[in-house]
């Protein structure tokens, strides 16, 4: 499928002179204890080391309830030894970037929001992005999803919520591959539409590399 390329010229308050290019490769592998990474994947998120641009690997680390999160790992922290199969327990440290932390937290808000995933998910993953827009319009007048307060049990709550969605009767039951597309679309929507990030260009590559390309405000 050809990626969708969009130029988004929003209101003046979304524009910023301090913007960066963000390249994201998504590796969810729901319920798996490892991810597979190729040299091609890493090539897709390479950025100029002398710039402020960010290339990241987004990994759904769902092995343990105390550390369940969408981890965004910067390319400079990814060793060549990760090419091939790597256990989620051996992933490099999560980036300390405020920009990436914000994106990860907003992903968590979607997982934790009661009924949200049930409303936006469907087997035809190409519709999920539009489903998110319709959900926000219907429930919040088109505004962003309200943030959920950060608390000590947040990662446990995300773990329990994913477990419920994946259990028999849940919308993600026995659909790990389709769940991967769900997470990619949530990340893509956050990056492309969140007013704080002020996106001015974005592209989604369902089968290419990187999975997501965007130009956004830096929060660092």
How many domains does the chain contain in total? 1
List, in sequence order, the alpha helices (H) in 141-175: 154-166
Question: Residue for token digits 């199969």?
Answer: 85
Burial of 48 (0-12, 13-18, 19+ CB in 10 A): exposed
| CA dist., res. 52 & res. 166, Å (int) | 38
Interhelix angle 154-166/98-112, rounded to 10 degrees, is: 50
Closest CA to 65 of 181, 145, 177, 152: 152
| CA dist., res. 165 & res. 155, Å (int) | 15
| CA dist., res. 127 & res. 213, Å (int) | 19
Strand partners, 47: none
* Kind of pairing between the strands at 19-27 and 54-61: parallel
Q: Which helix (H) or strand (E) holds 40?
A: helix 39-43
Question: Mean pLDDT of residues grouped by 10 in the chain (220 residues)?
Answer: 39 60 94 93 95 96 94 95 93 91 98 98 94 98 95 96 97 95 97 97 88 96
pLDDT at residue number 11: 41
pLDDT at residue number 88: 92
| CA dist., res. 78 & res. 99, Å (int) | 18
For residue 16, what are its two tokens? 């910023």
Q: Which domain holds residue 180?
A: 4-217
For residue 213, what are its two tokens? 């390309």
Cis amide bond preceding 51, omega within 30: no
| CA dist., res. 220 & res. 151, Å (int) | 22
The pair phi, psi for residue 20, each rounded to 5°, is -130, 160
pLDDT at residue number 17: 54
């Amino acid at each position: 499928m050809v990626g969708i390329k969009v130029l988004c010229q929003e209101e003046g308050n979304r524009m910023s002179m301090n913007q960066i290019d963000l390249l994201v490769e998504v590796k969810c592998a729901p319920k798996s204890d490892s991810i597979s990474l190729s040299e091609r994947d890493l090539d897709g998120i390479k950025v100029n080391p002398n710039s402020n641009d960010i290339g990241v690997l987004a990994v759904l680390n769902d092995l343990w309830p105390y550390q369940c999160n969408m981890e965004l790992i910067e390319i400079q922290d990814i060793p060549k030894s990760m090419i091939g199969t790597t256990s989620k327990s051996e992933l490099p440290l999560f980036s300390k970037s405020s920009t990436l932390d914000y994106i990860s937290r907003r992903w968590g808000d979607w997982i934790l929001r009661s009924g949200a995933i049930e409303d936006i998910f469907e087997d035809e993953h190409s519709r999920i992005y539009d489903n998110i827009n319709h959900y926000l319009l219907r429930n919040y007048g088109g505004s962003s999803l309200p943030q959920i307060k950060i608390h000590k049990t947040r990662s446990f709550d995300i773990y329990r919520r994913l477990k419920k969605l994946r259990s028999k009767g849940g919308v993600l039951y026995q659909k790990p591959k389709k769940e991967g597309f769900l997470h990619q679309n949530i990340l893509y929507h956050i990056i492309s539409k969140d007013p704080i990030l002020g996106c001015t260009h974005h592209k989604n590559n369902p089968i290419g590399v990187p999975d997501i390309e965007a130009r956004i405000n830096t929060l660092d």
